Amino acid sequence: MAIEILTNEEFEYMKKSGDILKEVFRECKKFIKPGITTLDVDKLAYDIIRSHDAIPSFLNYGEPPFPGSVCASVNEEVVHGIPSKKRVLKDGDIISIDVGATLHGYHSDACRTFLVGDVKPEVRDLVKRTEESFFVGLQYAKIGNRTGDIGSAVQQYCESFGYGVVRELTGHGIGTSLHQDPDVPNYGRAGSGQRLKKGMAICIEPMITLGTHRIELLSDEWTVVTRDNLPAAHYENTVLITEDGPVMTTYEEEN
């Protein structure tokens, strides 16, 4: 798929869809606790997205059609966990909520990993450093740089702590379609990959594990887990490439 070059007006549409995801994460932070189900979180996100006359980008996406409005991935689940009323969050869990919204035909896509109750220090550190690695990579999301510059920075940062960096799953371009070129890996060689140009929009999304980087796909054909069953964290924002540097549509400072 060709890489879209968006206008400033289209960037404004991207920001509006991103604002919806900011609200989803604000409410998730208050809502997520031991005893709720991943389906409860899915309903919360769906209701917020629809209240803005937007469309959940993930619902019925792909083949087989994804049945949720969010990917709710718990502990060893790296990505694409299917929301379920049977999956009850427990004290000490972590849960990655990956969510997309489409407004006026423009997508935004983002993820946060939330702590559920009292989480082990080494898992807390994994979540914190996965988020930090995003911002390490973000520094390279500038006109003239390449996707490999972002991936190399993320990889070096995460591997300095002994973490695994998932290879098979990457960030991506975004705009009038949810997933498009270019791929934005979380590993690789600086100076390689697609050159970034004004008007591009990309998703940077480190998927980082406490153990091996190796993963496998479950029989539901969606959920991806770590092969060693150790926890994984995921952090993502939609990023606009502008003359003034990268602009995140889905991020706001926490109070």
Q: Which of 160, 161, 140, 143 is nearest to 151 (CA)?
A: 140
Q: Are strands 171-173 and 207-209 parallel, antiparallel or unpaired?
A: unpaired
pLDDT band, residue 185 (cuts 50/70/90):
very high
Alpha-carbon torsion (68, 70, 72, 77), positive or negative: positive
Tokens 């309903």 belong to residue: 43
> What is the model's pLDDT at position 2?
78
pLDDT of 255 > 90? The answer is: no
Q: Which of 6, 4, 3, 1 is nearest to 247 (CA)?
A: 6
pLDDT of 105 > 70? The answer is: yes
Predicted model pTM: 0.97
Q: Which of 140, 63, 56, 128 is nearest to 98 (CA)?
A: 56
Angle, nearest 10°, between helix axes 8-31 and 38-51?
140
What are the tokens at 74?
């718990």
pLDDT of 253 > 90? The answer is: no
Angle at 89 between CA 85 and CA 94, to 5 degrees: 130
Report the run of H or E that residue 193 belongs to, with start and end. none
> What is the model's pLDDT at position 206?
98
> What is the model's pLDDT at position 94?
99
How large a percentage of the chain has pLDDT more than 70? 99
pLDDT (mean) for 129-146: 98
pLDDT tens, residue by residue, 109-128 = 999 999 999 999 999 999 99
pLDDT of 1 > 70? The answer is: no
pLDDT (mean) for 174-188: 98
